Amino acid sequence: MIKEFKQLFRKKVLVVPLFVFPIVMIVFFGYGMGGSVNNVNLLIVNNDMGVSSNALVQELGTFIPKNSDNKMFEITYTKDMSQSEAEDKINSAEYKAVLIIPVDYSDRLAKNEKPEVTLLTDQSDTTSTGIIVETMNKILAKSQPGTILLTVPDLYGSLKYIDFLTPAVIALTVFFGTVMSTGYAVAGEREDGTIVRILMTPVSRGAVIFGKTIHQLILQLARAVILILAAILIFGVTMNGSWLLVALILVIFTFGAVGMGIAISAKSEDMTSFQQISMLFTLPSMFATGVFFPLDSIPDWMRWIAYLIPLTYANDAMRIVMIKGQGINAIAGDLIILLIYSIIIFSVAIRIFRREV
């Protein structure tokens, strides 16, 4: 038993996933699944000139959810905006929600009639949408009990949590699969000496990396197609966007993940070291990037951690395409970040591979 503990604590890389990761996981899931969101970008299109709408707007602006110190909404105001223009703001992810207050809001309240306000939300994030709609209903009921009707149009069809989950799980699966299988290939071939034999042939190191990359691209795209089809057939998951754009996101992302697999494995002396070091990179991606919960539900400092991890951008782009059905312009920012990450990590990987293997 003493020998077992000695061996364990001498492998420091193994201690981190064993003790630190569960704590980090509890913190992230605790906040992420905590049932509240904050700093939601809300656009209020106030077409009403009366005083009643001002009271509602003030109520929204100061609302702080239970168990939170932050305001729920970051509000921007405008007027004279059509619903389709407002939908564009949601599609482009400029705002998480848009509340449209009609021109006759105050008048109807004064006449004891029921005014109808429209709430558009980014329904690709089903969790946040549920919380925003519930909160909005509460605030409206508190403001004018039983008098205001809230309409929430389905922007992307009827969506469930699985629709939110699937695009990110595909990105996560591709990331995990690529890093692990590329790494195993390099670390394994290094351990059994086969890579040395290959490198003693006229084939260049660049060609070896190229071969492994192309293999992973084909394999991961095939996995993604199978996963999406299975999700559609089994759970009726929504696929509103272009398959080609999904492929483009995954190709760029896989490219970087191959680089990460090569870099880690080239630095690892054997398979065990590779497994331990790779966990340091792959596990945080799983629970810190909004695969299972929206980033709006975690505190700012956690969100900044998420922004440092490439999977965050792959998740976002996948959801924009698969759920929102948007085109390349809507994911251009995510793609540029993923491309920069992939180029950097791949270049580093080639350097490490050339030096270490």
219 near other proteins, judged by CB under 8 A? no
Least distance from other proteins to the Cβ atom of residue 260, Å = 24
199 near other proteins, judged by CB under 8 A? yes
Nearest CA to 353 out of 213, 248, 223, 209 is that of 209
204 near other proteins, judged by CB under 8 A? yes
Least distance from other proteins to the Cβ atom of residue 239, Å = 36
Of positions 141, 203, 332, 336, contacts other proteins by CB under 8 A: 203
Of positions 114, 194, 218, 269, contacts other proteins by CB under 8 A: 194
Piece of 45-53, 157-165, 198-206, 269-277 that binds other proteins (CB under 8 A): 198-206
Count of Cβ atoms closer than 10 Å to residue 153 Cβ: 11
Piece of 70-78, 141-149, 164-172, 196-204 that binds other proteins (CB under 8 A): 196-204
DSSP secondary-structure letter at 125?
S
Q: Are 183 and 191 in contact (CB under 8 A)?
A: no
Of positions 15, 18, 196, 232, contacts other proteins by CB under 8 A: 196
Of positions 192, 230, 244, 307, contacts other proteins by CB under 8 A: 192
Piece of 4-12, 201-209, 219-227, 238-246 that binds other proteins (CB under 8 A): 201-209
Least distance from other proteins to the Cβ atom of residue 151, Å = 60
Distance between CA atoms of residues 87 and 180, nearest Å: 40
Least distance from other proteins to the Cβ atom of residue 202, Å = 5
Piece of 85-93, 200-208, 213-221, 242-250 that binds other proteins (CB under 8 A): 200-208
Q: Are 90 and 122 in contact (CB under 8 A)?
A: yes
Nearest CA to 177 out of 286, 290, 316 is that of 286
Read off the tokens for 257. 């993940």
Least distance from other proteins to the Cβ atom of residue 197, Å = 4
Least distance from other proteins to the Cβ atom of residue 257, Å = 23
> How many residues sit in the footprint of other proteins (CB under 8 A)?
12
Least distance from other proteins to the Cβ atom of residue 302, Å = 35
Q: Could you tell me the CA-to-CA distances from 26 to 33, 216, 281, 291, 315 in Å, in that order?
A: 10, 32, 18, 15, 21
Measured from the CB atom, the residue of 113 and 192 that comes closer to other proteins is 192
From residue 258 to residue 287, the character string flagging contacts with other proteins as x (rule: CB under 8 A) and all else as - is ------------------------------
Q: Indicate the pairing of strand 40-46 with strand 97-101.
A: parallel
Piece of 68-76, 124-132, 186-194, 342-350 that binds other proteins (CB under 8 A): 186-194
DSSP 302-347: HHHHHHTSHHHHHHHHHHHHHTT---HHHHHHHHHHHHHHHHHHHH
Least distance from other proteins to the Cβ atom of residue 185, Å = 11
Rg over alpha carbons for the chain, rounded to the nearest Å, is 25
Q: Are 322 and 167 in contact (CB under 8 A)?
A: yes
- Helix (H) / strand (E) containing 262: helix 243-267
The upper half-sphere exposure of residue 186, i.e. CA atoms within 13 Å in the direction of its Cβ, equals: 36
Residues 107-140 as b/e (b if ≥16 CB within 10 A, e otherwise) read ebbeeeeebebbbbbbbbbbbbbebbbebbeebb
Q: Which residues bind other proteins (CB under 8 A)?
A: 192-194, 196-204
